């Protein structure tokens, strides 16, 4: 399943590049805006959650905080990393697509005085969502592998 998402991401990235080459670089505004906002928000939220989790002692003993709480991401990181990654990618993708669409539209109007094509818009959305899903599949697979290795190491010590 992981390879399917990586292949979809690669095909979409190549299609975006070809669209930019044949129709002009302005066609790459939407994909660039979507990916920029997605990656920026993903990095900021992940760094915030991980740094909070490292600095707050006893976080795993707390009851689950409400989702709008400042420490909800850190609590999820400590207690359920799979759910943490799901929520992190969902929020980053959603907000990235909204702000990417607004930014892309305004940049296209300023540069070309007309909006970019729907192909560019749809390729940007598909590129962002396929990257998010491919990263989740890859991360989930690596997390399961590291958990299995940790369990084997603990069993060998006893």
3-state secondary structure of 67: coil
Give a yes or no: residue 89 inside a domain. Answer: yes
Cα dihedral 109, 114, 118, 124 sign: negative
Say yes or no to pLDDT of 44 above 90.
yes
Which range among 30-39, 60-69, 143-152 shows the weakest confidence by mean pLDDT? 143-152
Average model confidence (pLDDT) for the chain?
A: 83
| pLDDT band per the 50, 70, 90 thresholds, residue 29 | confident
Give a yes or no: residue 11 inside a domain. Answer: no
Counted domains in the chain: 1
Q: What local confidence, expressed as pLDDT, does residue 2 receive?
A: 64
Give a yes or no: residue 129 inside a domain. Answer: yes
Q: What is this structure's pTM? A: 0.80
Q: What local confidence, expressed as pLDDT, does residue 147 receive?
A: 57
Q: How far is CA 135 from CA 66, 70, 119, 132, 139, in A?
A: 26, 25, 24, 5, 6
Which range among 20-29, 37-46, 141-150 shows the weakest confidence by mean pLDDT? 141-150
In angstroms, the CA 145 to CA 151 distance is 10
Query: First-to-last CA distance in the chain?
Result: 36
Give a yes or no: residue 117 inside a domain. Answer: yes
Q: What local confidence, expressed as pLDDT, does residue 43 receive?
A: 94
Give a yes or no: residue 7 inside a domain. Answer: no
Q: What local confidence, expressed as pLDDT, does residue 157 receive?
A: 60
Give a yes or no: residue 56 inside a domain. Answer: yes
In the predicted model, what is the mean pLDDT of residues 136-140?
85
Give a yes or no: residue 113 inside a domain. Answer: yes
Give the domain range for residue 92. Answer: 26-141
In the predicted model, what is the mean pLDDT of residues 94-115?
81
Give a yes or no: residue 135 inside a domain. Answer: yes
pLDDT, greater one: 117 or 12: 12
Say yes or no to pLDDT of 42 above 80.
yes
């Amino acid at each position: 399943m992981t390879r399917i998402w990586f292949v979809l991401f690669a095909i979409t990235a190549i299609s975006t590049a070809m669209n930019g080459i044949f129709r002009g670089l302005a066609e790459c505004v939407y994909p660039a805006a979507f990916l920029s906002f997605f990656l920026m928000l993903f990095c900021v939220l992940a760094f915030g959650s991980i740094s909070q989790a490292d600095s707050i002692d006893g976080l795993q003993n707390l009851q689950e905080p409400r989702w709008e709480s400042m420490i909800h991401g850190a609590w999820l990181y400590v207690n359920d990393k799979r759910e943490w990654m799901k929520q992190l990618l969902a929020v980053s993708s959603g907000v990235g697509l909204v702000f990417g669409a607004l930014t892309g539209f305004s940049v296209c109007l300023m540069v070309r005085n007309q909006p970019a094509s729907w192909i560019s818009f749809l390729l940007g959305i598909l590129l962002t969502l396929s990257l998010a899903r491919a990263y989740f599949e890859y991360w989930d697979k690596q997390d399961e592998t590291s958990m299995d290795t940790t369990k084997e190491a603990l069993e060998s010590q006893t």
